[in-house]
C-alpha cells in the first residue's frame, strides 16, 4: 500500500510544462509553477562522468544544439549546450540543468516532483546511486518526498537498494504479465500507465494492487477530468495551464 503521506496532486506538469517551455529545463519548471502546478515530472539521465542531468532522450539532437549520446559526454560539455532555442527563440540560452540545479529551482518554486530515471544499458545501478546521492544532498526539507519512477526494472531495484525508504513508481505502457508481483517486490507506491493505451481494467488492477494510478500524458481537459473521476489519482500533462482538476 502507498504510505499515508503519499498524496500527489491530481495534475502534474509533464517534463516541467512541455507545452509551454522547452522540456526538462529551468524555464519549464518555472512555467509549470506559473501555471499553478504543484508537482512536475522530470527525466533524469547520467553523463559519462556520473552527473545526473535533465534529459529525456538518449541522444542530444532533438532538444539541444549538440550531437551524440548523453552517455558519451561529460557534464562540463553538456552545460555549454543550448536547450531552449529549438522550442522558441525567446528561450535561447536555456541550458541542460543538472539534477542538483533543478532541485534548487524546485525548492524556490515550491514544487514537488516525480523523477523518471532514464538509465542506459549497463548503467542502471550507477544512475540510481547518483540520483539517490543527489537527493540526499539537495532535496529541500520543506518539499514532499520525491517520487522516482522508471521503465527499467533494474533501475528500480537499484533505487530500492540504495534507499529503502524512497517512493517508487512502476512505469509501464500497459500491464505486462507478472507486473503486480514485481511492483510489490520493489515496494512501489504508484503505477504509471500510458493514457493512449488505457483500458478499463487498468483502474481495477490499480485498486486491487493498492497502488495509486498515474496516467501519462493527458492534454485534453475534459479527458483529464474523466479519467480522474474514473479512478486515476493523477495525470501528467504538458499544459498545466489548461488542465485543472478540482481536489
pLDDT of residue 201: 86
- Please enumerate in sequence order all residues whose Cβ is within 8 A of that of 158, keeping only pairs 6 or more positions apart, or say none: 124, 125, 127, 128, 129
pLDDT of residue 1: 56
Cell numbers standing for residue 186: 520493489
pLDDT of residue 199: 85
pLDDT of residue 6: 83
- Please enumerate in sequence order all residues whose Cβ is within 8 A of that of 185, keeping only pairs 6 or more positions apart, or say none: none
Cell numbers standing for residue 84: 531552449
pLDDT of residue 180: 94
pLDDT in single tens digits along all 247 residues of the chain: 566 568 999 999 999 999 999 999 999 999 999 999 999 999 999 999 999 999 999 999 999 999 999 999 999 999 999 999 999 999 999 999 999 999 999 999 999 999 999 999 999 999 999 999 999 999 999 999 999 999 999 999 999 999 999 999 999 988 888 999 999 999 999 999 999 888 888 898 889 999 999 999 999 999 999 999 999 999 999 999 999 876 5
Question: What distance in Å separates the CA atoms of residue 227 and residue 233, rounded to the nearest whole number?
Answer: 9
The domain 11-237 is placed in CATH, from the list 3.10.129.10, 3.20.20.220, 1.10.760.10, 3.20.20.190, at 3.20.20.190
- Please enumerate in sequence order all residues whose Cβ is within 8 A of that of 170, keeping only pairs 6 or more positions apart, or say none: 149, 156, 179, 182, 183, 186, 188, 190, 191, 192, 211
The set of catalytic residues is 14, 56
pLDDT of residue 113: 98
Question: What distance in Å separates the CA atoms of residue 129 and residue 197, rounded to the nearest whole number?
Answer: 32
Segments making up each domain of the chain, as ranges: 11-237
pLDDT of residue 43: 98
**pTM for the whole thing?**
0.96
Amino acid at each position: 500500500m502507498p504510505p499515508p503521506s503519499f498524496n500527489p496532486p491530481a495534475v502534474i506538469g509533464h517534463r516541467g510544462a512541455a507545452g509551454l517551455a522547452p522540456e526538462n529545463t529551468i524555464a519549464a519548471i518555472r512555467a509549470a509553477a506559473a501555471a499553478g502546478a504543484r508537482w512536475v515530472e522530470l527525466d533524469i539521465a547520467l553523463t559519462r562522468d556520473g552527473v545526473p542531468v535533465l534529459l529525456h532522450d538518449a541522444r542530444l539532437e532533438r532538444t539541444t544544439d549538440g550531437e551524440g549520446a548523453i552517455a558519451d559526454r561529460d557534464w562540463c560539455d553538456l552545460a555549454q549546450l543550448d536547450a531552449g532555442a529549438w522550442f522558441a527563440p525567446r528561450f535561447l540560452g536555456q541550458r541542460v540543468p543538472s539534477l542538483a540545479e533543478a532541485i534548487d529551482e524546485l525548492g524556490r518554486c515550491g514544487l514537488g516532483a516525480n523523477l523518471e530515471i532514464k538509465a542506459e544499458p549497463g548503467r542502471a545501478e550507477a544512475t540510481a546511486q547518483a540520483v539517490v546521492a543527489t537527493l540526499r544532498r539537495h532535496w529541500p526539507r520543506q518539499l514532499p518526498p520525491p517520487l522516482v519512477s522508471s521503465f527499467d526494472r533494474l533501475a528500480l531495484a537499484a533505487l530500492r537498494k540504495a534507499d529503502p525508504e524512497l517512493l517508487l513508481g512502476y512505469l509501464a505502457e500497459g500491464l505486462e504479465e507478472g507486473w503486480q508481483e514485481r511492483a510489490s517486490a520493489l515496494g512501489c507506491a504508484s503505477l504509471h500507465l500510458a493514457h493512449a493505451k488505457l483500458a478499463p481494467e487498468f483502474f481495477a488492477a490499480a485498486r486491487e494492487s493498492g497502488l495509486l494510478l498515474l496516467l501519462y500524458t493527458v492534454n485534453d481537459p475534459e479527458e483529464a477530468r474523466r479519467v480522474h473521476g474514473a479512478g486515476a489519482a493523477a495525470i501528467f500533462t504538458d499544459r498545466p495551464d489548461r488542465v485543472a482538476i478540482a481536489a
